Structure 1
Amino acid sequence: AALAEAESVAVRSSTALNPTAEDETADVLRVRLFETVDRAAAAGVIETYAHLWASNKDALPAEAASPELKEQFARTYPLHPKLLELLTEKTASLSTFQRTRGMLRLLARTVHLLWRNQPPDAYSIHVHHMDPGFEPIRTEIQEKIGMRQYAAAIKADVAAVPGDEPALAQRLDAQKFPGLTPATSYVARTIFWHTLAYGDTARGVSPEQLRLAVCSPALEPAFIDQARTAFQSEALYLDDRPGAPLRFMAEANLNQVIGRYMRDVDAGEVRAYLRDRIDKLFNLPRGEFNAILFPAGPWEVPDDLADPRPLLAILNYESTAIPADLRQPPAELEDIFRFKGAERNHRELKNNLVFVAAAENGIANMQTLARRKLALGELRKPSNQQELADYQIQKVNAEYHELDLKIAQAILQCYRHIFYPSASPMAGTTLPLGHTILELTNPDNPGNGQMHVERVLYEQKKLLTARDAPDSPAFVAKETGLAGRGEMTLQQLRLEYRKAPKLSILLHDTPLLECVRTGIQQGRFLYREGNQVWGPGDPSPVIQISDNTFLHTMEDAKAKKLWPRAEPLRLSFLANPTTIGKGQPAEITVTVSGGVPPYTYTSSDPRLNATATNETQRSAKVSPEATTTYQIEVTDSRGARQQATAMVAVREGGAITPVDLTPKPPTPQPPTGYTAEGPLAAALSDLWEKARKAKCATIQRLTIRMFDYGAVWKVHQAMATVAGGKVTAEITATLAADGVEELQVSYRGAVDKANATKGFLDTQLRAAKESDFTASYTVAFEPALRLDGDAPERFAKEITRYGGGEAFVEAQAGPAA
């Protein structure tokens, strides 16, 4: 009723409303709309506005600082001068707008709405107080002015009628400015009214004029800019052409088109795309971690060192999402950390496993950006670009490429929860699991996921890289169990390291090797390879991690008499007397010095034989019928071996039985060559059989050629301790790796001098993309290896005691027996 009365008053004398000058328009409108206007109060309000304009002159057009605007406001109050300017210069330019009746109807409806709602920010009547969400004003726009083409824009972006879903501006106000002046709605309404004008150049408003039209004592220009920026980025019907003023279009803009394509993207496509992008960010072929993407359960996460890198399990965001109020690790994460394999055995290498999980509140953004990327990809197809203008096509192409960075940022900001083995468990679990948050330090260059995981764990002092100082030897010995066991292979030590949550995670073996070296220097450890040992004061060894290299605590080394290093094993084997008459007695005595007891004695005279004895001297009475040479071999507990002979000469009729002590083989014949191939032990056995069938007496020279570097290193260690012959090693390798087109390495020389080459090549061959490797070991037996006993079999057992592999063997056999 009140609105109808206001309209009737305004229209009753509308025929008389024909001001002769623009200045008279405000007076006439005031007379028709208001009974009275408090001029004294108006002066105070206008001064407040003038102070606001002066304080923000840098953000407003130049006219805001001019006295004319203040004077104009005094003439138009309570109508804002920019409202009157809009109605007389833009709205009135429309042929469908009845200047007299139209202004009165719009303003009557606006005054009625303000009087009804009485908003606290209404210091004067602005353009934005003409609310298209108010049904009478909306009817005026669509029916009287005839601007039905903007109905969709009003509904989607500006103001929805009660009962409909809120328009964009209303949603942004609720989200960003709850309880405050609805700045976004004011911005949207002002832009809309400036859209209604005749001529393309008249349609729209600049950001500066928008700030002047909307600002009031309740709304600063900076606040208006925030609202405008948020509205522009999401509005569906704003003109998005480069250089265009702020104005609405009757047709949806590019955002609307993209939104339509986004709705057509299947959820499965989004899932597959994100899986691929997450995989590319975290699963790097040459990364520091061995990434396991979206493991379904413990059976998909190994518990071994087949790949020496630590494991990084990236959990599926659809099944595992971390809430903002995290109170305990996810159940599926705990399950993988606790168990391994389908049989659900207990996981051992817990200090070798790190988890990355998605934040619940980051998943939607990640999915939305992926969906937009796929939609833009579809929109880039020529058949789908016919509805786009050239500038929109350029914008689609640019955003398509820009989204790569945004999606990478979104994934890394989503996958920000890191769970790692820790001696100080997080709340809610008894498992040794810690938790930390990944923050991007440089969002404009996010890099890959592994580098951020490495950085965060490093900051937590949980990670050791190749350049870091090692954990203390005493601490490592305690946590790995070496301190209790006393002895451990280096391979087992590395394995135990990966089990102990109190220790750092090893990205490389270098810190472990440095820990061993430091422990040797400090006198805590003893390193042993075959019969060779390294202790404090020795030159630093080339430490190999294998099942055939050992680390001892110094207590264990002393108990096993490995340290202090024993004197070399020496024998004295004498006969007393050395010459006897036939039937007379003599005594043969062997005396041992050095070595590490217990000793094993093996003699041609069984009375001297003994096993595992600490005796350093043994004797036997002999009465040979003829001059006899006795042999003995003594082996200590470490496998060191020495041989000796003693001769008892027998006189017959006053003369000693002549014995030629110098070996005089038959007339030399050219050696005969034999070959065999297969597993090393089997190939050697085949070789001995061939030589024996040919009735050869000895093997003078043996060459072993192998091509698998893993097997070669096992044989290499045994070759370094071969007794009874000179061993020459020849190693050649050609390889290619990242950044290395071709690297050639060759070595020829004594086997015990090849360790440095071996150590270098072991690392390079592990990292190589392609490699060609050959190792040959040639043994020149001194004296020749006899075939009439078990010496060849003992030799074969000796050189394969650490393992073997496929080999080609070749022997030069001595003359036929």
Structure 2
Amino acid sequence: MTSLRPWREIAVPHEDVLKGTFQQAEFAADLSRVHAGTASPEYGDPVLFFKRTYITEGMRLLLDSVMKRITGAGGDPVIQLQTAFGGGKTHTMLAVYHLARGTVPAGDLQGIPPILDAAGVIDLPKARVVVIDGTKLSPNMPDGRGSINVHTMWGDLAWQLGGEEAYERIREADESGTSPGKETLADLLATYAPCVILMDELVAYIRQFDENKTLTGGTYDSNISFMQALTEAMKAVPNAVLLASLPESDQEAGSRRGVAALRTLEHYFARVQALWKPVAAEEAFEIVRRRLFSEITNTATVEAAGRAFADLYITSGAEFPRETQESRYYQRLVNAYPIHPEVFDRLYEDWSSLDNFQRTRGVLKLMAKVIHRLWKDGNNDLLIMPGSLPLYDGNTRNEAIYYLPPGWDPVVERDIDGDRAETTEIESRDTRFGSVQACRRVARTVFLGSAPGTPNRMVQGIEQERILLGSVQPGQQTSVFRDALNRLADRLYYLNGANNRYWFDTRPNLRREMEERKRRFDEKEDVIPAIAEGVKKAVAKGHFDGIHIFTASGDIPDDSALRLLVLPPHAHYGKREVQMATVCATEHLKKRGDQPRHRQNRLIFLAADADNTRLLIDHVRSMLAWESIVTDYKNNRIVLDNLMARNAETNLDTARRTVARTIRETYRWLLVPVQEIVGGRVSTEFRWEDYVINPSAEKPIEEIERVLKENEALITEWAPIHLSSLLKRWFWKDGVAEMQA
């Protein structure tokens, strides 16, 4: 552990991440702004763009096809980019844009030379690049280009290809809003080839046209006809290529008309297109690392960190998910550095299913805020893990819960992270947890892994093994984090658990109901009788003729029977100046009600520990509260779903076991009255001797008898010679040879 270095010493974030000056718009690659020359350098500068861009397998194949196409050596004429919201469509178009324009030699662009070699392209010609952005075009507002007003997509296409000269070829079609034929388009493309046409947000533009209504941009049907003609024309021009992005889901398509436009475009594209899906989940590691961090050159340290985590998972195999036992998980750790693969898995598998979470863009935006806060706060974790997420930070918390349904803010503030969170309170009281932030790390991990799936997931929550995966670092004990999870399951209001799975929910769990019910129970009328019942179960008769639990002195016989008196909780014992137990025991010893007690040596007392008494009372209140919830459910006085009902039963069983254990831990003081021998005579006064019994003993009554016998406070049999010696010492002396009992 000492030889390993924290992530912040190896991976330095980019300047904008360090300063927290990033904006969502900077993560959203804007093709139009790049084309207009107004984009930030990371997108507008080809060299910087490719330096921060990881070329995925899908992007490599796409660029290979585009290179071949614009050199007339094959390749696909039409490529549709259809993937989930934020899946890298526009980013892929930007890669094609910079490569095709040729403002910088292709050999100077990081990652491009190997693709050129594989494609067999020696000299990549400069191509004319047309950018049509559906969110920038207005269907009823012509766009002035010099002395010409461009009305339609096809007018814009012609103008970008060859200015006024090209526009004149389709002026009539543009001004009338009718689509040019595929032959006209093919001739236009051939004249200005090699050319690349990039069409982004196409559905966003076409869905604005109402049926049977003509705008300056044409009609719905004329725009659909244009797309059909254009895709057909591309096949006739061997060095022209069209890339178009379509949304993957109906929700992203927007309105009913948007969905209809998507279906129609999918139909026409399907006739000629090659379908590409640029970003695979495993490739997200490098995409995020390049965008958020400067180049990492210390590979030896990265590999050492990966090996330390991999060794931890293999050494404690049963504690972690099965995939961590495979050798390839080590490679995942290295590839994802300085972010733990579990962060990516949860964000890409779970959070990407949320509405409006834009996969790669959403991950970048959230992680940029996470990294900024961790860097600013001096975080020294070996990797950025689910348990590292700084949900105490307002910006990070707001970014995370933005994608979730309403109601998550109080969950995070009360149960998960922050100065007022229950996790922080527990850690401040228990240094075993606080030294490694075990409670907060566990809670953050559960949040990341369960929040997106609540309440619609078929199987809710994440397993304990995955919680440990997101929390534990090399050199730390998994048992500490397991204990922290158990403590949280017992204390938090919004944390639920069942079948080794845990999850947060915006609905308070039954614990809040239990806590409210605890206040209903009166200590004298409800709690003390429940403790008495628990003590009765724990203590059987044994050698005692009678066991009296919280019994008034007047109800305890004054006879020769050996009796164990269990004192009530308020008569507790400890190493303090005033002992309530000895005061109470003395009253019982000296009197039977209002009368003096004669056979005082027949009483032994069992007292509660002063430090445990309040805890015992609290545990009993909890047990009574759970009993009332289960009883009300069975009597149809409250409504619970099946899972909550099972949880209530489980919590009741746990509470009963806790009370039984706490009774043994609390009632551990034996008090025995002892008379001193002064000048050969027995003093009329007495003192108290205390003995501690082992609370873990299987049978408490046998442990009580063992302790009393070992200390000769209880003698069940005497050897004749020993008995004779004592009789001679105290009774058969001064000429007395016999006595009556």
TM category, shorter: 0.5 to 0.7
Aligned-residue offset at 1:153: 3.0
List per-residue Cα deviations over 1:580-626 (Å, max 9, x = no partner): xxxxxxxxxxxxxxxxxxxxxxxxxxxxxxxxxxxxxxxxxxxxxxx
SS of structure 2 residue aligned to 1:209 = helix
Separation in structure 1 between the aligned mates of residue 303 and residue 657 of structure 2, nearest angstrom: 54
Q: Distance in 1 between matches of 2:437 and 2:317?
A: 23
Aligned-partner Cα distance in 1 for 2:539–2:482: 43
Q: Find 1:66's aligned residue among 316, 326, 333.
A: 326
* Equivalent position of 2:467 in the other structure: 210
The offset of 1:106, in angstroms, is 1.4
Q: What percentage of residue pairs aligned between the two structures are identical?
A: 19
> 2:446 aligned with 1:191, yes or no?
yes
How does 1:225-624 map onto structure 2 within 5 Å?
A: 225-241=482-498, 243=499, 245-274=501-530, 276-277=532-533, 280=536, 288-291=544-547, 293-294=549-550, 300=554, 306-318=558-570, 320-324=571-575, 332-333=583-584, 335-336=586-587, 339-340=590-591, 349-379=599-629, 380-381=631-632, 382-383=634-635, 385-394=637-646, 396-397=648-649, 400=652, 406-422=658-674, 431-440=686-695, 442-443=697-698, 446=700, 452-465=703-716, 469=719, 472-478=722-728, 480-484=730-734, 486=736, 490=740, 493=741
Where 1:354 maps in the other structure, the secondary structure is strand
For the 8 Å contact 2:422–2:492, the answer to whether it is kept is no
The residue number in structure 2 matching 1:146 is 404
SS in 2 for 1:149: coil
Contact kept, 8 Å, 2:463 with 2:500, in 1: the verdict is no
Distance 2:550 2:535 in 1: 9
Secondary structure of 1:105's counterpart equals helix
1:435 & 1:489 partners in 2: Cα distance? 33
- Higher percent of residues as strand: 1
Alignment partner, residue 632 of structure 1: none
| Equivalent residue for 1:14, pick from 24, 28, 34 | 28
CA shift, 1:309, in A, is 0.5
Equivalent-residue separation in structure 1 for 2:414 and 2:729 (angstroms): 65
Q: Per the alignment, in what secondary structure is the counterpart of residue 435 of structure 1?
A: strand
Higher normalized contact order (CA 8 Å, seq sep 6+, divided by chain length): 2
Aligned counterparts of 1:60 and 1:278: Cα–Cα separation in 2:
39
- Give 3-state SS (helix, strand or coil) of 1:463's partner: coil
Whichever residue aligns with residue 400 of structure 2, its letter is: I
> 2: CA distance between counterparts of 1:113 and 1:5?
10
CA contact (8 A) 2:619 2:659 kept: yes
Q: TM-score, normalised by structure 2?
A: 0.56
**1:133 aligned residue:** 392
**One-letter identity of the residue aligned with 2:29:** T
Give the aligned partner of residue 28 of structure 1. Answer: 287
2:335 aligned with 1:75: yes
State the 1:193 CA deviation: 0.7
Quick one: distance in 2 between partners of 1:378 and 1:81? 45
**Using the alignment, how far apart are the partners of 1:110 and 1:286 within structure 2?**
63
**Matched residue SS, 2:430:** helix
- Give the TM-score normalised by the residue count of structure 1: 0.51
Matched position secondary structure for 2:496: coil
Rounded to whole Å, the distance in 2 between the matches of 1:173 and 1:271 is: 29
SS across alignment from 2:20: helix
Distance 1:117 1:344, change over 3 A: farther
SS at match of 1:197: helix
Which residue pairs with 2:306 in the alignment?
46
**Could you report, residue by residue, the CA deviation over 1:180-214 in whole angstroms, capped at 9, with x for unpaired residues?**
21122111111111113355147532223333333
Give secondary structure in 2 for the equivalent of 1:211: helix
Change (3 A) 1:64 1:363: same
Q: Check conservation: 2:450, 2:503, Cα contact below 8 A.
A: yes
Q: For the residues of structure 1 that align with 2:414 and 2:476, how far apart are their CA atoms?
A: 24
Deviation string 1:369-408 (CA, Å, 9 cap, x unpaired) is: 3213322332213456532234544554566567556544
1:177 positional shift: 1.8
> Is residue 2:383 matched to residue 1:124?
yes
Pair 1:430–1:374, CA change in 2 (3 A):
same
Q: How far apart, CA to CA, are the structure 1 residues paired with 2:513 and 2:467?
A: 27
Q: What is the one-letter code of the residue matched to 2:345?
A: E
Given the alignment, which residue of 402, 410, 423 partners 1:168?
A: 423
8 Å CA contact 1:14, 1:100 repeated in 2: no
1:115 is matched with 375
Alignment counterpart, residue 476 of structure 2, candidates 192, 199, 219: 219
Richer in helix (by share): 2
Distance 1:174 1:208 in 2: 26
Whole-Å Cα distance in 2 between the matches of residues 459 and 169 of structure 1? 46
CA distance in 2, matches of 1:279, 1:129: 45
> Are the equivalent residues in 2 in contact too, given 1:191–1:247 (CA < 8 A)?
yes
Deviation at 1:327, TM superposition (A): 9.6
Equivalent-residue separation in structure 1 for 2:356 and 2:481 (angstroms): 31
Q: Deviations over 1:385-435 (max 9, x none)?
A: 53223454455456656755654443343221112133679xxx9834322
Aligned residues of 2:17 and 2:292 also touching (Cα < 8 A): no
Q: CA RMSD in A?
A: 3.9
Q: Read off the aligned partner of 1:96 and give its amino acid letter.
A: N
What displacement does 1:441 show?
A: 5.5
1:395/1:348 CA distance change after superposition, 3 Å: same
Aligned to 1:56: 316
Give, as a single letter, the amino acid of the residue that structure 2 aligns with 1:151.
D
Query: Contact conserved, 2:366 with 2:400, CA < 8 A, in 1?
Result: no
Q: Is the 8 A contact 2:668 2:692 kept in 1?
A: yes
- C-alpha contact 1:184 1:228 (8 A) present in aligned 2: yes
SS at match of 1:416: strand
In the aligned structure 2, how far is the partner of 1:400 from the partner of 1:72? 43
Q: Secondary structure at the match of 1:196?
A: helix
The residue aligned with 1:102 is 362
Residue segments in structure 1 that go unaligned for 5+ positions in a row: 494-817
Report the Cα offset of residue 356 of structure 1: 1.9
What displacement does 1:112 show? 1.5
Q: Distance in 2 between matches of 1:334 and 1:203?
A: 54
Give the superposition deviation at 1:111. 0.9
8 Å Cα contact 1:458-1:464 kept in structure 2? yes
Q: SS at 1:433's partner residue?
A: strand
Counterpart Cα distance in 1 of 2:360 and 2:16 = 21
Residue 91 of structure 1 deviates from its aligned partner by 1.0
Counterparts of 2:472 and 2:575, CA distance in 1: 38
The SS at the match of 1:410 is helix
Q: Cα offset for 1:217?
A: 2.5
Cα deviation digits, residues 99-123 of structure 1 (max 9, x gap): 3443233112211121122233x11
- C-alpha contact 2:548 2:566 (8 A) present in aligned 1: yes
Contact map agreement 1:315 1:355 (CA 8 A) in 2? yes
Which ranges in structure 2 are unaligned for 5 or more consecutive residues? 1-14, 31-87, 93-277, 678-683
Paired amino acid for 2:465: E
SS at the partner of 1:417?
A: strand
CA distance in 2, matches of 1:398, 1:478: 63
Structure 1 290/98 Cα, relative in aligned 2: closer, same or farther at 3 Å? same
